[in-house]
Amino acid sequence: MRPSASSVPAIRHRLQAFGDGLKRRQDVVRGIQWGVVALYAFLLVAPVAAPNGVLSGLARFSEALFWGVWWPGVILATLLFGQFWCGLLCPDGTLTEFASRRGRGGKIPPWLRRAGWPLLGFAWLTVCEQLTAAHHSPRATLLLLGGASLLALLTGLLVGRGKRVWCRYLCPLSAVFSLLSRYAVLHFRVDRAVWDAAPRQPGNSVDCPLLLDVRRLRSNEKCSMCGRCSGHRGAVRLALRAPGSEIAALAGGEGDPRRWEALAIVFGLVGLCYGALHWRGSVWHAALLALPAPGGVSAAWAVGAALLAILLPAAVIGGSLSLALLAVGGTQERAVRLAYGLIPLAGVGLLLGSLEYSLAILEREGVRVAQLLPALRALILAPALFWSARLGWLQLRADVPGRLLPGAALAIHSATLILLAACYQFAPSAL
């Protein structure tokens, strides 16, 4: 339901007031950030360091918070509202900026700016989390999440001056969040004409921790929603937009579709996440893990089989999606743009895989929720399927004159989305 015409100005005013409040009360934001850092450090270290009598309860609480509440919650919030977690609450962001303000302030090397590092980091983190079953092991959780925090701290100490170089160029989760946030309904809108017309004031520059050129900001993909630019030159404000409007704009030639980002969507956000989160309960996954090992190499063989059980479905699903998009688009350029339309469905697939951790924790505590999983999947998948179909329809319509779409392209695209949704809906559950 759309807001009434009379309520729109009030919503705009409240959003602008919230954005301006973030900029004005950075002292409060920093206090919250350090509170999150303290809680995060406690939940990482305490379950490992506590005596055995206390360890079990702390470990269960930490597991429930990290994997049952935090991870699904951040995915959903980023998909709907943007990267507020990154700019306001993320402990790694707080640590790297703190270290950067006190570090050596080195120049950012060109190799660090390469676009593929977050994607490689996310793939590595996902595979390691599955191989080590980190969601069930406090030590593995400390190694993976604590290791990432240590790297963020070291990055801040070595490069940048008071900025979040780690968040901009290296954070593994930014590979996913930057894609999901392009669908979000909130963004910091920049009115370029107002910006350019405003009188210059010495010393009045934007303190963007991610080193973004705010004046030219059009996309939500890198903005961490910290609010430090809100109200600048009267041209920046927190605003509502239609869900997926940034992706839909690609059909009109706006934005910057990238081939490597399209591959990240089909092979990473869809393929790898499906292989890691949804396929592990299947009989084929179990069959790969049970492959007999040659004599004398059982340990290495077990790791290789577990890795194959994740990467094989990722390659099959990602490759199949790529071929389907090429068939629909007809050219590589159109296929790349169509890949962005998968973001709602792929993001919801990641959310569902993460929610199973939450349900598994409830099941273990005696709350019978496994029977609710099919209905929960259908309820969450339905709107995502609609929006992915709509975004694809807009992409296809932009390439075809008139109002009618070619039947074959529309049929293949619709069938592809329905099959992908069915893969999520009927994925074997580990509950």
Instruction: Show the DSSP H helices in 216-282 as ranges.
Output: 245-248, 259-263, 273
CA pair distance 172, 92, nearest whole angstrom: 11
Contact 224, 210 (CB under 8 A): yes
CA pair distance 287, 273, nearest whole angstrom: 20
59-63: list long-range contacts, CB under 8 Å, 24+ apart.
59/138, 62/138, 62/141, 63/135, 63/136, 63/138, 63/141, 63/361
CA pair distance 240, 1, nearest whole angstrom: 14
CA pair distance 98, 88, nearest whole angstrom: 14
For residue 254, pLDDT over 60 is answered with no
N- to C-terminal Cα distance for the chain? 35
User: CA geometry: angle at 420 spanning 419 and 424, to 5°?
Assistant: 115
pLDDT digits (tens, 9 = 90+) for 42-71: 989 988 887 665 566 777 788 888 888 899
Alpha carbon of residue 24 to chain centroid: 28
pLDDT score, position 282: 81
Average pLDDT, rounded, for the chain: 88
308 is written with which tokens? 């194959």
pTM (global) more than 0.85? yes
- Count of Cβ atoms closer than 10 Å to residue 244 Cβ: 21
Contact 256, 212 (CB under 8 A): no
pLDDT score, position 273: 93
Contact 341, 416 (CB under 8 A): no
| Domain ranges within the chain, ordered by starting residue | 11-182, 248-425
Q: Which DSSP symbol is given to 133?
A: T
pLDDT score, position 118: 94
pLDDT digits (tens, 9 = 90+) for 391-403: 988 888 877 655 4
pLDDT digits (tens, 9 = 90+) for 161-191: 999 999 999 999 999 999 999 999 999 999 9
pLDDT score, position 136: 80
Nearest to 269 by CA among 420, 415, 383, 393: 420
Nearest to 329 by CA among 402, 395, 425: 395
How deeply is 200 buried, as exposed, middle or buried, from its count of CB atoms within 10 A (0-12, 13-18, 19+)? Answer: exposed
pLDDT digits (tens, 9 = 90+) for 205-229: 888 999 999 999 988 999 999 999 9
128 is written with which tokens? 């390691």
CA pair distance 144, 187, nearest whole angstrom: 31
Amino acid at 102: R
CA pair distance 121, 381, nearest whole angstrom: 27
pLDDT score, position 55: 61
Torsion angle in degrees (nearest 10) through CA of 168, 172, 174, 176: 160
269 is written with which tokens? 């956000």
Query: Once rounded to an integer, what is the mean pLDDT over residues 108-116?
Result: 91
Helices 343-364, 407-425: crossing angle, 10 deg rounding: 10
> Would you list the DSSP string of 352-404?
HHHHHHHHHHHHHTT---GGGHHHHHHHHHHHHHHHHHHHHHHHHHHTSSSSP
